[in-house]
Chains A and B, each alone.
Chain A
Amino acid sequence: MRRPITLYGLTFSLPLLLWQILFFVFPLVFLVALSFWTVKNFTMRPDFDVVNWTTMFSRGVFWQSYFTTLALAAAASVLTSVLAFPAAYAIAFKLSDTARRWAVFLMVIPFFTSYLVRIYSWQIFLSDNGIINVILGWIGLGPFQMLNTVGGTMIGYLTLSFPLVVLLQLFSLVFIDRTLIEAAHNMRCGRIRTVFEVIIPSGRTGLVIAGLFCFILSFGDFVSPVYLGGGEPTTLSILITDTTKSGQQWPRAAVIALTMIGTLLIVAFAAVKFAYKGKSK
């Protein structure tokens, strides 16, 4: 049923629309325009020049960080998904309703703690004289360098997305039709085989979306690669902050940002397509 547009309706629907157009769509569109501006004598001027694109794309260091970031984010999604799955599985199928509610509540808490503070806290664990190395020292091992390594960056990415991935996986597992699992058991399908042939395929949508979120978060994060990874190797996010904060090279930073958005769109599109493949509803 179509209702005429009324003042009443517009009062509620328009404010958010205007806000998001003014302060979300416009900034992103402006980013596109900005990427064609030129910088002369440290001042930006409106222009239509592809020089920023050609300079960035012809730099080896740009492509190097591009593929590094891509590889790190992909590794983080796989690692986080694999590590989160047994936990989500156990919470979904092995805990009582009350225990599950507590488990969900506890997994939500990290969202309301500062990510920066948690990363600093990991430095206390991972540094050369940190907690882990002291404990390893007691049994005569180490010290190992863990801070300023790729492993450190990965721990940061895990800190960032593990809770979210567990929750998303959990929600997809909870809604799996239990009779499917019982049917598999009745037909003497082993436990592991049930997981791989019944549970993972049925929960595929949620599992893939969870991995996608981990990819998006890790791809854009600059805190872990800097403060746990030591800034080496350079990721695109580090490249953006460096380009923006030092000097007036905003147009070049815009090129990096737009390349990231493009990449994320492709990855998200592919992931969603795969997640809903064969589910034509």
Chain B
Amino acid sequence: MSGSDDLNRSAAVNWALITYVVLAYAFVFAPIAASFVFSFNSDRFPSIPLGEFSLDWYRAVAQDPLVWEGARNTLVVGVVVGLVSTALGFGAAYTDYRYTFFGKQVYLALALLPPTIPVIILGLAMLAYLSRVNLSGNALSVIISHVVVCAPFAMAIIRLRLSQMDPALEPAAWNLGASEWKAMRHVIVPFTMPAILGALFITMAVSFDEFAVAWFVSGLNETLPVKVLGFLQGQVSPRINAIGSFVFILSMTLVILAQLLLSGRSAQTAEKE
């Protein structure tokens, strides 16, 4: 008797917990879903019941030359930041993988700490410093600061992949007569390629969404998220939803691409082994 009581109680608790998880996900996705739904809604001040279906906000966004300029800046910045961060992150990950040296802890701290500094402080420090060396107020200053924040992500992703590699692989290539450079080109780079591409897409996605540091340093060359911040400050408008949904699709495409690359390739190597 008491046994079945226990069973009932634990089934009830399990249901309560699962319901809680569903509610938690509802909380997380409510704003994302709402932004999507209301981007197609005609009302100026969105609420329920919904107004008519309309593409007005997308049209308004598409006709705003400033938005296009922001999108262009975001894209240029994102691509450059992705390439530079991934290159720097790869170097740091390889350094951590292969070398031990005096001060390595400090090196790793520099390589990984920047994302833990509040963006508002980083933004202020960057603005003050870059304007001192005459680099502020342009796309370059956004690129410089975004690489600081993004390179650690690239480093972490590539380092993870390197730790899956058989440590005897590189020495084996040397023993077979490959120079260090050749071993790098024919062993390390091919093995880490999925992580390199993954890091490229993830860092681009991070840069696409970053607004605080960009807001401080960008000056007149605003990126799209900075523009959104402007919309939020000024005439609050459902245009934000249209831009948000568009950028969301773009970022998710990048992330899913990265995910496919990361999981697909490692499954392949697992099969080979």
Contact = CB atoms under 8 A, between A and B. Distances in A.
Contact of B92 (A16, A84, A221): A16
B178 to A, nearest CB: 12
Interface in B69-93: 87-92
A1 B88 CA distance: 25
A interface majority secondary structure: helix
A112 B252 contact: yes
Interface in A99-114: 103, 105-110, 112-114
Contacts of B90: 12
Nearest to A110: B28
Contacts, number: 235
A119 B30 CA distance: 11
B246 to A, nearest CB: 10
A117 B236 contact: no
B125 A27 contact: yes
A28 B126 CA distance: 8
Contact of A24 (B20, B91, B148, B254): B148
Contacts of A94: 14, 17-18
A278 interface: no
B36 to A, nearest CB: 9
B interface majority secondary structure: helix
A86 to B, nearest CB: 5
A172 B129 CA distance: 39
Contacts of A114: 209, 211, 225, 228, 244, 247-248
Contact of B34 (A11, A124, A158, A166): A124
A20 interface: yes
A189 interface: no
Nearest to B255: A112
Interface string B204-238: 01000101100010000000010011001000100
A53 interface: no
A216 B28 contact: no
Contacts of A130: 47
A234 interface: no
Given A116-B229, A240-B120, A121 B35 contact: yes
A11 to B, nearest CB: 7
A232 to B, nearest CB: 16
B92 A87 contact: no
Nearest to A241: B120
A87 B229 contact: no
How many of chain B's residues touch chain A, expressed as a range?
35 or more
A34 B128 contact: yes
Interface residues of A, number: 83
B155 interface: yes
B228 A116 contact: yes
A120 B128 contact: no
B200 to A, nearest CB: 14
B129 A26 contact: yes
Nearest to A112: B251
Given A120-B240, A121-B32, A123-B236, A11 B251 contact: no
Contact of A227 (B98, B121, B232): B232
Nearest to B237: A120
A6 B101 CA distance: 13
B125 to A, nearest CB: 4
B118 A31 contact: no
A87 B24 contact: yes
Contact of A90 (B17, B120, B127): B17
B223 to A, nearest CB: 11
Contacts of B262: none
A113 B244 contact: yes
B106 to A, nearest CB: 9
Given A8-B180, A13-B99, A116-B229, A131 B91 contact: no
A150 B21 CA distance: 25
A257 B32 contact: no
13 contacts: A12-B90, A19-B148, A24-B114, A86-B21, A90-B18, A106-B29, A116-B228, A117-B228, A220-B118, A222-B212, A244-B216, A254-B128, A257-B124
Across the A-B interface, the 10 shortest Cβ-Cβ residue pairs: A220-B118, A117-B244, A121-B31, A27-B129, A13-B95, A27-B125, A90-B17, A12-B91, A118-B31, A87-B24
Given A121-B35, A129-B47, 7 more contacts: A86-B21, A114-B248, A116-B228, A117-B31, A121-B30, A220-B118, A240-B124
Interface of B: 10, 13-14, 17-18, 20-21, 24-25, 27-32, 34-35, 38, 45-49, 87-92, 94-95, 98-99, 107, 110-111, 113-114, 116-122, 124-130, 132, 144-145, 147-148, 151, 155, 180-181, 184, 205, 209, 211-212, 216, 225, 228-229, 232, 236, 240-241, 243-244, 247-248, 251-252, 254-255, 259
Interface of A: 3, 6, 8-9, 11-17, 19-21, 23-28, 30-31, 34, 83-84, 86-87, 89-91, 94-95, 103, 105-110, 112-125, 127, 129-131, 134-135, 158-159, 162-163, 166, 191, 216-217, 219-222, 227, 237, 240-241, 244, 250, 253-254, 257, 260-261, 264
